[in-house]
Structure 1
Amino acid sequence: MGKTKYIGSMGELSRKDNSICFRKNGKNVYIPVENTSEIFCLNEVSLNSKLLDFLSRANIVVHFFNYYGGYSGTFYPKEFLISGKVTVAQVKTFENRREEIAKSIVNGIRINTINTLSHYYKHGNSEIQPLLSHLKKDSLNKLEKSNNIKEILSVEGDIWQIFYSSFKYILREEFIFNKRVKRPPDNPLNAMISFGSSILYAKTVTAIYNTHLNQSVSFLHEPSESRFSLSLDLSENFKHAVTFKTIFDLVNNRKINVEKHFDKKLNYCILNDEGKQLFINSLEERLESVKEHPKLKRKVSLKTCIKLDAYKILKCIMEQKEFIPYNLKYSL
């Protein structure tokens, strides 16, 4: 996969010869087409149809974010790997094996939550023990007994609530929150979770774009006309490795500051420009980190692991393989 380019300033994006040009404050910054797979527009950016045609032919995906750091939408070039055969098989798999795959996704979330909390329990956070016990026994039992998507989603929600309840034992006091609030985020921690989850979701959209999979046919989340629901499915098991590890590192190592890196108003809180850049740098460093893959026997990046999970879904669909999602402990 190619590189990611972030645009954090207001300006104009256009085509100049065979390059992409971003113009701000009367100055041009050029983005090479080669080895660029996606562009993130984090501020107000104007562009035209000439550029969109150029981006489409270069298979470059462009993601747009709103003022609050949330995902707004994606310019999705014409699919160059579209496959009717895969789409038909994907729909049949949805009809015949949806609950099985959805359970695998939620069980992956459960396992990765255990992996994350176990790290802090081993480092002296004894208050986490009851939460781990619940995840290992009660959540697993409830998941195994689930008979439909509604019950499976209920288990998923319970797992995330258990994880959020652990923050008071893990994070510095000024970053602890009462509950998860998304639209708009109301405190620094919610702001980082929303921003990090939005970037991860967009990264997953790009990863799936580079496969034969159909973005609209999902298994855990309801297939939707207004969003790439398969990307929601696959991004869930990377939240611990990407979003939350980035947050925990920035907060607990005092790299990010409530007063310096956030803009707070009456009913919302967002990362300011400096805070966004700090967060992006840390997240990208994590995504590009490489380790030995236990099955491939070669070093791969965390970013590549997202695409590998897409290929696992593809094998599940085309070869009736079991889908076993990314595992934080045994992968990266």
Structure 2
Amino acid sequence: MSINHTRYITSIGSLKRKDNSIVFKNQKGNAYLPIEGIRELFCLNEVSLNSKFLDFISKAGITIHFFNYFGYYSGTFYPKKQLVSGRLTVQQAQAYLERRIIIARAIIEGIAINIHEILYHYYKHDKKQLKNYLDWLKKDVPRLIEKEDNITHLLWIEGLVWQKFYASFREFLPASFLFNRRVKRPPDNPLNALISFGNSILYAKTISQIYQTHLNQSISFLHEPGEGRFSLSLDLSEVFKPIIVFRAIFNLVNNKKLQVDKHFNRKLNYCLLNDAGRKIFISEFEDRINMVFLHPKLRRKTTFLNAIKLDGYKLIKYLAENKEFKPFSLKEMI
């Protein structure tokens, strides 16, 4: 499945090099992918490859993201990182020790601002029941996080923001797509399946964008730095979830492009998008993340995908020059 500079592989098969092309082989035969213009490969099913292929991909500057059966991100292979800065890594670590709260506050406020913008659309279209939550996001959340100096308490506030967001879905989503609570591993109903799949793809996209900066992927501020994960990608992707993942979900569900009986596989204790459902969601997701808008400060056109990288640069400015870090705002488009 081809979308812009990204190729999605959704079936079982193998990847090999053939001259200067990528060959994907499955039971239907060979599919040839010219290497020019490809930046990312998403392997959403069981795919075999060898070190010779990885060397070929590395020299071409292509990143490969791997996902497991449940649609969760498993790992990334990317070329040897060229943009390495020991000085910035030290500054990033110092900021974690000394200024973590400031950055965490900014991210949570950014989440609240963007959720507010998404829900305000429904409020304007006769969903007046959303007013109390909108007021809470706009007035109370900034006050709550401004006076909070404990990271555990900040994370509780962030969790409450998402919890109330999920509760608001009953005002504008059909009953077949509602849920009682957020269940991740594995998702237990269609809406949880969509959220988990969308968040996983966005996380991988964010990894690729941070790769293009000098930032260290393992040093984060809102999420606790942990073993075996790129926690900074979790941080920078948060404010984009309402804009990209949830906008995609709301459009597909409310316009009946995704339907429970057609696009999901249900088992005893989990629910997953089927192949047709994944292709529909990926197409919508890519349309959203590559949507072009005029950046008011840069005075040029850009995309939400590039805005993720720009947030990385904002963080660098904060770390190196102490310039205010303010994540992307859908309201201001910066």
TM-score bin (small chain): over 0.9
Corresponding residue for 2:192?
190
Of 303, 323, 326, 2:325 maps to: 323
RMSD: 1.3
Quick one: which of 98, 109, 112 aligns to 1:110? Answer: 112
- Map of 2:53 onto structure 1: 51
Other-structure match for 1:10: 12
SS at match of 2:30: strand
The 10-residue stretch of structure 1 (284-293 or 185-194) with the greater mean CA deviation from structure 2 = 284-293
Deviations 1:123-175, CA, capped at 9 Å, x for gaps: 11111111112222332222112112111111100100110010000211110
Is 1:75–2:67 an aligned residue pair?
A: no
How do residues 218-297 of structure 1 correspond to structure 2 at under 5 angstroms? 218-297=220-299
Number of the residue aligned with 2:132? 130
Deviation at 1:112, TM superposition (A): 0.9
Q: Equivalents in 2 of 1:148, 1:60: separation in Å?
A: 40
CA shift for structure 1 position 26: 5.7
TM-score by length of 2: 0.96
In the alignment of these two chains, the number of paired residues is 331
Q: Deviations over 1:269-321 (max 9, x none)?
A: 00000000000001111112101111111111111111111111111112211
Partners of 1:65 and 1:88 lie apart in 2 by 32
In structure 2, C-alpha distance between the alignment counterparts of 1:220 and 1:305, rounded to whole Å: 19
In structure 1, what is the equivalent of residue 214 of structure 2? 212
Aligned runs of 1:145-184 on 2, under 5 Å?
Answer: 145-184=147-186
Tell me how far apart the structure 2 counterparts of residues 47 and 146 of structure 1 sit (CA, whole Å). Answer: 49
Structure 1 segments unaligned to the other structure (5+ residues): none
Look up the SS of the partner of 1:166 in the other structure: helix
From 302, 306, 309, the counterpart of 1:307: 309
Secondary structure (helix, strand or coil) at the match of 2:39 reads strand
- 1:95-137: per-residue Cα shift (whole Å, max 9, x none)? 2211101100001011111111211111111111111122223
CA distance in 2, matches of 1:20, 1:86: 36
The one-letter amino acid of 2:124's match is: K
Matched residue SS, 2:74: strand
Pick the aligned partner of 1:32 from 28, 31, 34.
Answer: 34
SS at match of 1:159: helix
Tell me whether 1:121 sits opposite 2:123 in the alignment. Answer: yes
**1:139 is aligned to 2:141:** yes
Give me the whole-angstrom Cα distance separating, in 2, the residues matched to 1:26 and 1:71: 26
Match of 1:86 among 65, 75, 88: 88
Per-residue deviation at 1:262?
A: 0.4
The CA deviation at 1:227 is: 0.3
Question: CA separation in 1, counterparts of 2:140 and 2:322?
Answer: 29
Query: In 2, Cα distance between the equivalents of 1:258 and 1:277?
Result: 15
Matches of 1:214 and 1:10, distance apart in 2: 33
Distance 1:198 1:286 in 2: 15
User: Which residue does the alignment assign to 2:63?
Assistant: 61
Larger displacement relative to structure 2 (232-241 or 146-155): 146-155
Taking structure 1 as the reference length, what is the TM-score of the superposition?
Answer: 0.97
In the alignment, the residues of structure 1 paired with residue 128 and residue 166 of structure 2 have an alpha-carbon distance, to the nearest angstrom, of 16
Comparing 274-283 with 17-26, greater Cα deviation is found at 17-26
The 3-state SS of whatever aligns with 2:251 is helix
